[in-house]
Amino acid sequence: MSDFVDRVTVHVKGGDGGNGSAGIKREKYKPLAGPNGGNGGDGGSVVFVAASNANSLLDYRFMPHRAAGSGTMGLGDTKDGSKGDDLILPVPLGTVIFTAKGSQGGPKRPGEQLADLRHEGDRFVAAAGGMGGLGNAALANRTRRAPGFALLGEPGEERDVVLELKSIADVALVGFPSSGKSSLVGAMSSAKPKIADYPFTTLVPNLGVVMASEYRYTIADVPGLIPGASQGKGLGLEFLRHIERTEIIAHVIDCATLEPDRDPISDYRALEHELAQYADQLELPLGAIAIPDRPRVIILNKVDVPEAKELADFVRPEFERLGLRVFAVSTASHEGLKELGFALGEMVVELRAKIAEQERQEEQARVVIKPLEEPARRRRRRDEERGSAYDYEIEREEGRGGEFWFTVTGAKPERWVRQTNFDNDEAVGYLADRLAKLGVEDALRKKGAHPGDTIRIGRGNYAVEFDWDPTIAAGAEMLDGAQLGARGKDLRLEEGETRARRRTNEERRREYHEMMDAKTAVREVMREERRAGHWADPAVDDDRHDEHGLLGRDEDGE
């Protein structure tokens, strides 16, 4: 069984952000001394990194589910949670990452290209970690000085991606099945490919490293091509992609074939036709040389056979008239392999310099604008404060039964919903404040929404549905339903502020006089009531029926 895998589907998930803390600082004589809940830690991200020591995607076939670490929850005393660890996944050079298209549970196929990891150290964040929720200390402001809630951490990004390996080799050996490509790789390098006397022996590309004096380069044996390979016949497109990153294309032609209607010239033209058809379907990376413009080399193989030697000598002038370099070799006797190795080494060095210069010119022609570095949390809060009506969309949708609802979609509303703890009324009110500030409530009214209508924010697994109540408030409420404070205003500290604040002398004198005047007024009212007979003087015992009274006792008090 082959251990070479060049296309896999991987399910990646970024770590979830930790929840913020809603802690309250408590001191002696100050049971509510202010919020001190810390922020939750950010979740880790899943990152693919191109590494030269990776040569296959086999690990991802056996372990296709990869997840990064989650952040921890914030703590009291404004202690932030720890960040989740990033998951670094090494992939071979030449790995291209695509979105996965296909039905759930079914086979996936490559969709939109996301990244092309061609050089050592190239990185791509496939699944970003969720941001940690803000604690109530970070949510406190001038009007909301003691939030009784914190924001929840955001879930990490989760999706399927397709990894496709396009071998990065200096020389690609192409040819019909059983033309001797694998034998040539084994003869020129230390590779040990499978070799047999039947067609399509090579089911996976074979890579080998060639050392020729000061030259060092890699060669790739692309599995046998047949007419129609560019349309998927035979192994077709499964392995044609492995020549996309090669610098030199070497045609290995079997001069000892006994198949009718085949000769070196027709084989060469048939293969070139397939390469031209495939080249039209490619979108080459920056600085890459188009397949038709890459150098060609003709390798006439199996010249150890007398008839093959005669045929090679006969067709050599015709290939040379096409401007092609021709080498007659034999993997059995090693004839011509030394000259071929040195010639390919010289061509590789020249082409590497040409490609490097072309990439440098392309990079200089590009205009790259990098934003100023800014902490992620500060940037997030700034973006939220600058929210506009263009950050979301509202659609009125109807079901089959005639029911209807309004769907709100947008980065900010959907993120705010994921951060809200719906078990906390104050947190729900804070969400309403944010949506109102963003203009969602006004936009809903313009769309024809009325209080009590069904509103959905977001789509998919994280969508939230509720009945619209535009009067919901974030502040505490009295038992009878009358609102005690404005939206977003928590009065737990407001009640204790009067006791905690030190009064001025003028306030003390005013409060003292008010208290004395109140006592005098109460005494006067009591005297008037006594004169009117509304109540008796407790010092006078005039109740004869009271056995404990003066009239119910004898002279001795018994």
Task: Give binding residues for Mg(2+) as ranges.
Answer: 182, 202
Neighbours of 530 (CB within 10 A): 12
- Find residue 91's DSSP bridge partners: 50
What are the φ/ψ torsions at residue 514 (nearest 5 degrees)? -65, -40
Helix (H), strand (E) counts: the chain: 13, 18
Angular region, 481: left φ>0, alpha ψ -120 to 50, beta rest: left
- Find residue 96's DSSP bridge partners: 116, 164
Q: Helix, strand, or coil here: 441?
A: helix
Residues listed for the chain: 558
Q: Which residues are annotated as a binding site for GTP?
A: 175-182, 200-204, 221-224, 301-304, 330-332
Q: Taking the alpha carbons of 181, 184, 188, 192 in that order, is the dihedral positive or negative?
A: positive
- Rg from Cα positions in the chain: 41
Q: Helix, strand, or coil here: 270?
A: helix
| CB-CB contact of 220 with 206 (8 Å) | yes
Q: What angle do CA 491, 494, 499 make, to 5 degrees?
A: 145
Rounded-to-integer distance, Cα 457 and Cα 416, Å: 10
For 176, the token pair is 């019909």
C-alpha separations of 376 from 42, 370, 431, 504, 517 in Å: 10, 15, 21, 45, 60
Q: Based on the number of CB atoms within 10 Å of its own CB, is 332 exposed (0-12), middle (13-18) or buried (19 or more)? A: middle
Rounded-to-integer distance, Cα 278 and Cα 397, Å: 45
Q: Which residues are annotated as a binding site?
A: 175-182, 200-204, 221-224, 301-304, 330-332
C-alpha separations of 327 from 131, 258, 346 in Å: 60, 21, 15
Rounded-to-integer distance, Cα 380 and Cα 371, Å: 14
Rounded-to-integer distance, Cα 212 and Cα 352, Å: 17
Strand (E) or helix (H) holding 379: helix 376-385
| CB-CB contact of 202 with 194 (8 Å) | yes
The one-letter code for the residue type at 361 is: Q
C-alpha separations of 445 from 198, 436, 448 in Å: 74, 11, 5
Q: What torsion, rounded to 10 degrees, do the Cα atoms 310, 313, 315, 318 define?
A: -160
DSSP-assigned letter for residue 553? S
